[in-house]
Amino acid sequence: MENKQKKKVIVGLSGGVDSSVAAKLLIDQGYEVEGMFMRNWDSFLNNDILGNPNDITDICPQEKDYNDAVEVAKTLGIKLHRVDFVKEYWDNVFTYFLNEYKKGRTPNPDVMCNKYIKFDYFKKKAIELGADYIAMGHFANVKIIDGITHLYKGKDLNKDQTYFLAMTPRDKLDNALFPVGNLTKAEVREIAKSLNLITANKKDSTGICFIGERHFTEFLANYLPAKEGNIISTDGKVLGKHYGLMNYTIGQRKGIGIGGLNDEEKLPWFVVGKDLKNNVLIVGQGKENELLYSDSCIIEDINLINPLESNDLYGKFRYRSQDVKIHVEFKENNEARITYDHVKSVTPGQILVFYGEDGECFGGGIIKEVFYKGEKRKY
């Protein structure tokens, strides 16, 4: 058994309860623990780049998170470093985020934040500071099998975060620890309460990774000017106006803005397609509308954490969606065709993640095209 007293771990201390408890657990396990707070967003700097001074609403929440991290570090008696990855976040995560929306797709910046920031730039900085390991407050687990790192779902399946780690290369996960992976969220909060940590009752963060909670449409308009266009029904009838295709995603029901049409059946409307060329949003009625479903897709930019144990796996098409049986057929150019039975709202730009029966996460890819009965969907 290794002498953990000699092993140094730097924890990504975000100012949230999960990373706070992760740090405490590592201390109890005998590691030398330090914290590192990442500052990845600067409204003044980013708006100076764009000539837009309006989006400054995240400054106070970000500073509050830092202050909470400071208090946690004091309570635990550990050193806290503060590092800026503002440029790295802009170049590797936010630029990707904007480019995907320009293509009419629905990106997942949290996945890329893990890949490029938390497990790349953060890890490099931690090594500079003498770390043997890095640790995060993710609900996930790693196992070393025959010297190889394997990623597995966390105990709390409702909070499992392997979906967001699927695009992170295996070498970036080497020497990464996930101390809360074998706990439930409720257990994490109980530990935090027992220690009187300032983060014990702090609600979970939502919204875009490191950018936080905000009115999404207004936020996006700061960077991508909205282009108004028609909303049409599946039979071509104009029902109203949309305020930019990037503000809608396949399967969306709320916020379409066409409720209360007197001459239509009283079934809810859903986004069932986008015509990017003509700037048209296509909607259909009924939550079981056939246009919401697909039975195959093409994924690209595949990342395999480890080789697949089989081409018949389980796939997760978006965070917290049910895992479904899939078949993977690899193609050229790091793409694959994925077949499955009748799944709703499979959306280009989102991440499809591969799992084994035992919960091992093998990686995933970005959904490129979606099909139903051989016909490409207008997604």
pLDDT band at 31; cut points 50, 70, 90: very high
CATH number, residue 325: 2.40.30.10
CATH number, residue 204: 3.40.50.620
Query: pLDDT tens digits, residue range 139-197?
Result: 999 999 999 999 999 999 999 999 999 999 999 999 999 999 999 999 999 999 999 99
Query: pLDDT tens digits, residue range 226-260?
Result: 899 999 999 999 999 999 999 999 999 998 988 65
Q: Please indicate, yes or no, whether residues 37 and 157 belong to a single structural domain of this protein.
A: yes
More confident residue, 257 or 351: 351
Q: Please indicate, yes or no, whether residues 181 and 302 belong to a single structural domain of this protein.
A: no
Q: Please indicate, yes or no, whether residues 253 and 167 belong to a single structural domain of this protein.
A: no
Distance CA 179, CA 191 (A): 13
pLDDT at 208: 62
Query: pLDDT tens digits, residue range 35-68?
Result: 999 998 875 555 444 444 444 444 456 788 999 9
Pairing of strands 324-330, 336-344: antiparallel
Pairing of strands 229-233, 238-242: antiparallel
Q: Please indicate, yes or no, whether residues 11 and 117 belong to a single structural domain of this protein.
A: yes
Q: Last residue of some domain: 217, 242, 265?
A: 217
Q: Last residue of some domain: 245, 268, 285?
A: 285
Q: Is 361 a catalytic residue?
A: no
Contacts of 219 (CB under 8 A, 6+ apart): 55, 211
pLDDT at 203: 87
DSSP state of 367: E
Q: Tally the domains of the chain.
A: 3
pLDDT at 204: 84
Torsion of CA 126, 92, 64, 26, to 10 degrees: -30
Q: Please indicate, yes or no, whether residues 260 and 305 belong to a single structural domain of this protein.
A: no
Q: Please indicate, yes or no, whether residues 325 and 357 belong to a single structural domain of this protein.
A: yes
Domain that holds residue 169: 4-217
Q: Please indicate, yes or no, whether residues 298 and 166 belong to a single structural domain of this protein.
A: no
Residue 76 amino acid letter: L
Q: Please indicate, yes or no, whether residues 134 and 175 belong to a single structural domain of this protein.
A: yes
Q: Which two tokens stand for residue 155?
A: 């105990």
pLDDT at 222: 84
Q: What is the average per-residue pLDDT within 342-353? A: 96
pLDDT at 63: 80
Q: Which of 60, 113, 297, 361 is catalytic?
A: 113
Q: Please indicate, yes or no, whether residues 243 and 260 belong to a single structural domain of this protein.
A: yes
pLDDT at 263: 54
Q: Please indicate, yes or no, whether residues 267 and 212 belong to a single structural domain of this protein.
A: no
Contacts of 201 (CB under 8 A, 6+ apart): 17, 189, 193
Give me the percent of the chain exceeding a pLDDT of 70. Answer: 89
Q: Please indicate, yes or no, whether residues 179 and 321 belong to a single structural domain of this protein.
A: no
Q: Which of 60, 209, 297, 361 is catalytic?
A: 209
Residue 120 has pLDDT above 50, yes or no: yes
Q: Which two tokens stand for residue 196?
A: 């009187």
- Counted residue by residue, the chain has a size of 379
Q: Last residue of some domain: 217, 245, 273?
A: 217
Element (H, E) at 22: helix 17-28
Q: Please indicate, yes or no, whether residues 270 and 310 belong to a single structural domain of this protein.
A: no
Q: Is 60 a catalytic residue?
A: no
CATH number, residue 281: 2.30.30.280
